[in-house]
Amino acid sequence: MTRFRCYVRDMLYQTKAAKRALFASLSTLALVATAPAAAQDTDTQPAESEDVIDDVHDRRMDSRSVIIVTAAGLRQFDLLAGTSVIEGATLDANLDGQLGEVLADVPGVTATGFAPGASRPILRGFSGERVKVLVDGIGAIDVSNTSADHAVSIDPLTAESIEVLRGPAVLLYGSQAIGGAVNVIDKRIPRRVPNEAVHVDAIVRADTASDLREAGASIDVPLGGGFVTHFDGSYRTTDDLSVPGFVLSENLRSELLEEADEEEEEGEFEEAEELREAALASGTLFNSATETWTANGGFAFFRDNSHLGVSVGVYDTFYGVPIRPGAGHHHGEEEEGGEAELEEEGPETVNIGLRQYRADLRGDIALGEGMFERLRVRAGYSDYTHTEFEGDEVGTTFDVQGMEARAELIQNPNGRWRGSLGLQYYFRDFFAEGEEAYVAPNRTEQISLFALQEYGDGPIQLEGALRYEATNVDSVPLGVERDFDAFSGAIGLAYDGPQAFRAGVNLSRVARAPSAEELFSNGPHIATQQFEIGDVDLGIERAWGAEIFARGRLGDVEFSVAAFKNWFDDYIYLSETGEEEDELPVFEYLQQDATYQGIEGELIWRFLDTGNFALTADLRGELVDAELSDGSNVPRIPPLSLMGALEASTGSFDLRGEVEWVDSQDEVAAFETPTDGFTFVNAIATWRPIAANPSISVIVKAENIFDVTGRRHASFTKDFVPMAGRNFSASLRLSY
């Protein structure tokens, strides 16, 4: 094992060689692995499973039409009690360039909302290192978890579905998933042999608030003999975002106007005028435009009950980062006249250019009638570059080479016993250079073993999960190396009642090693307007967790509710200190005990159904409360939010009206500003013009109809980056 780890580390450390080796290795492995299968009868198609197949979305469903998530091992997945699957018309209606915005209406989910070009999901109040973003079961291998201004390198436009996984057993995907995981299912590696000679999916969208123009398409072509090839691509561009009223919050406006008065008293009339102009800006969020394109290609081979495939692709985005008005920073020292002086710079336009090259492999091999039924293999390699531009100059560049691989052995059911065993490997080589490279170069390596088991066919079922992680984090320039051994586990008891009713309780103990950013940060970060300081002595973060849930159907009513509580030992968090460095507020990674608790739920009531016409009411809500052991509040916790909707459906036309209410948040941490509540009113109309092909649809949407100012409390930029104003959008989806 040690030789293997050293080999992978050395290979990835050599960037150019790694690119060639990994891309070639994935292709070669696919050809070698499929060779034995190719010697069999090439006319044989994949055997159909006992599950029902939804042809429109290719989702697996059980006999009660309950969607089964793609996670392997457990049959009922009650340890994933908060599972939500977003796909089809729901996904189309909520599409956005950033993953956080796509999922913001899901119960228990909000978004970081840093900027239109960077918004990551927040689950149950958790973000960053406690929310794992996955592509078909393995990590995105980018740096979106390290800072709120870093975009997620996934384009939701070409996603087939998105799974939001919450609850204790998400630790099977890594200890970074304490808060949950978001799993984006795409088709870069084909999942089936199309029935058509060519299968095409396409979408075009436009809106008014950002002058959005985007299009995406994918093509799947069966080549015969069980081979399928796939190509997809997308392009998206937006202008500066239109916002209602003042850009700045009332508190920040007052602060800048006071500063303007002080400048004027000192005779600095030009500076005073600039501050007043910034304070009174309205209508448009300056420097918030985005441009993104993607291109991917892949192929897969299917034989009997097995398949194996690979893909390669690129994700490229360039987006503006709005800067807090009135903020300034220093770039360092210059020698002049024999004396050291600070060169002071005013606020500049900051933009981020991001590009990721990625290669992936996925295999699902049937093993027969022995102890194990299947072997599932998933691997990905990423070459990621992230450049922060200050004006026209390069400020800081982040480079990441990394890989993640995962193998699971799925057990054949043995009476009432079933489950899976697995091994996971992760490596990331991080390098930053520039005047504001606030994180020292570092490497992270992690090997994990995990198991999940389920016993019982009902009405009572017992479920359990275990995970061990060995993590090494080192920074050669700092001369620091840390090793962590973390054990995590979860156990659940579930009751399966009539009418698809299920209820249960889950208990967990989760441990997470601190990340390189939490350990090694030390410097100014212009994009977030913070001076961030890590702590190389941080220890393992541990948490006890408890959750109760119930879901099912009572007549015409479907419901899902979950309540949870987490008790953290040595909780790691980023807190403002009240000090300044280089004219930036200082944020420091600290560690102390903390408690999270909350409730989330959804109720769907189809109170009228004539066969050709139906009326449905939809109610959703979530509440999270989080406190540190010293009695203060955890920073940036989302407030109470509720949503109510009424939807009318016919065979070809749906109309939905929504009212979304978000409470104010005044339970804030030290130096954190409170946030006002807001109410948005939205409407969505969906038209399926061809009865024989309901996957062809036109969606027209009106958001924030009354042009209300809204700010996300969880956002670092909430005081100067409001949510979009009134927005009308239209999209056309084709599938044939």
Neighbours of 80 (CB within 10 A): 26
Candidates 539, 593, 595; CA nearest to 569 is 593
Candidates 512, 560, 514, 507; CA nearest to 535 is 514
pLDDT higher than 80, residue 42: no
Largest CA distance in the chain: 88
DSSP-assigned letters across all residues of 685-701: EEE---TT-TT-EEEEE
Element (H, E) at 640: none
pLDDT higher than 90, residue 346: no
Helix, strand, coil % over all residues of the chain, rounded to 5: 15, 55, 35
Per-residue pLDDT at 663: 97
* Count of domains observed in the chain: 1
Residue 272 lies in a domain: no
Domain encompassing residue 305: 83-247+286-325+348-735
Is pLDDT larger for residue 593 or for residue 52? 593
Candidates 389, 353, 328, 279; CA nearest to 720 is 279
Contact yes or no for 293/302 (Cβ under 8 A): no
Question: What is the Cα–Cα distance from 333 to 338, expressed in whole angstroms?
Answer: 12
Helix (H, G, I), strand (E, B) or coil at 310: strand
Residue 49 lies in a domain: no
**What is the band of 167 on the pLDDT scale with cuts at 50, 70, 90?**
low
Per-residue pLDDT at 78: 53
Residue 634 lies in a domain: yes
Q: What Rg value do the Cα atoms of the chain yield, rounded?
A: 26
Candidates 256, 252, 263, 216; CA nearest to 236 is 216
Contact yes or no for 378/136 (Cβ under 8 A): yes
Question: What is the Cα–Cα distance from 325 to 343, expressed in whole angstroms?
Answer: 19
Pairing between β-strand 227-238 and β-strand 241-246 as defined by DSSP bridges: unpaired
Is pLDDT larger for residue 582 or for residue 505? 505
Per-residue pLDDT at 227: 97
pLDDT in tens, 176-188: 778 888 999 988 9
pLDDT higher than 80, residue 721: yes
**What is the band of 56 on the pLDDT scale with cuts at 50, 70, 90?**
very low
Contact yes or no for 532/438 (Cβ under 8 A): yes
Residue 294 lies in a domain: yes
pLDDT mean across residues, the chain: 85
Question: What is the Cα–Cα distance from 359 to 361, expressed in whole angstroms?
Answer: 7
Q: For 362-385, what is the mean pLDDT?
A: 95
pLDDT higher than 50, residue 39: no
**What is the band of 497 on the pLDDT scale with cuts at 50, 70, 90?**
confident
Residue 68 lies in a domain: no
Per-residue pLDDT at 327: 65
Virtual torsion, Cα 572, 573, 576, 577, nearest 10 deg: -10
Contact yes or no for 237/291 (Cβ under 8 A): yes
Residue 471 lies in a domain: yes
Per-residue pLDDT at 70: 55
Contact yes or no for 734/200 (Cβ under 8 A): yes
pLDDT higher than 60, residue 681: yes
**What is the band of 59 on the pLDDT scale with cuts at 50, 70, 90?**
very low
Neighbours of 654 (CB within 10 A): 20
Give percent above pLDDT 70 in the chain. 85
**What is the band of 5 on the pLDDT scale with cuts at 50, 70, 90?**
very low
Residue 461 lies in a domain: yes
pLDDT in tens, 573-607: 989 898 998 888 999 999 999 999 999 999 999 99
Question: What is the Cα–Cα distance from 137 to 404, expressed in whole angstroms?
Answer: 10
Q: Which pTM value belongs to this model? A: 0.87
Contact yes or no for 698/686 (Cβ under 8 A): yes
Neighbours of 270 (CB within 10 A): 8
Give the range among 327-341, 457-471, 519-533 with minimum mean pLDDT: 327-341
pLDDT in tens, 634-649: 999 999 999 999 999 9
Candidates 399, 352, 361; CA nearest to 143 is 399
Q: For 443-449, what is the mean pLDDT?
A: 97
Q: Which two tokens stand for residue 401?
A: 């080479």
Question: What is the Cα–Cα distance from 230 to 360, expressed in whole angstroms?
Answer: 13
C-alpha pair distances (Å), 306 with each of 199, 267, 377, 414, 437:
21, 77, 12, 22, 46
Residue 21 lies in a domain: no
Give percent above pLDDT 90 in the chain. 64
pLDDT higher than 50, residue 622: yes
Q: For 286-307, what is the mean pLDDT?
A: 96
Q: For 23-29, what is the mean pLDDT?
A: 37
Contact yes or no for 231/247 (Cβ under 8 A): no
List the CATH number of the domain containing 411: 2.40.170.20
